Amino acid sequence: MKIQKNETLSLSLIIESSNVKSLSASLSTEANFSLTNGILTINENANSFVDLRARWNTIMRGLIASEQVLEIVEEV
């Protein structure tokens, strides 16, 4: 499938976690998201695959870092 120049690409991620509020707080400046009934939904759009991949990588790095911090705090 070839993507046309005027097409918008989209990715969505749905997260259900006991730490969903903390995870969403870590995204407050990084992503478009909604938090409903303990479910975090992240939606990203971009005009190119390169831009979408860069945005997605930033979001995932933030989520991974937050999850690792939460795991350390829970151990203490």
Query: Per the domain annotation, does 2 fall within a domain?
Result: no
Q: What is the pLDDT of residues 39-58, one digit of tens each?
A: 999 999 999 989 999 999 99
* Number of domains forming the structure of the chain: 1
Query: Per the domain annotation, does 28 fall within a domain?
Result: yes
Closest by alpha carbon to 69, among 18, 15, 26, 13? 26
pLDDT band at 34 (very low <50, low <70, confident <90, very high): very high
| CATH (domain of 69) | 3.30.310.50
Q: What is residue 1's predicted lDDT score, i.e. its pLDDT?
A: 60
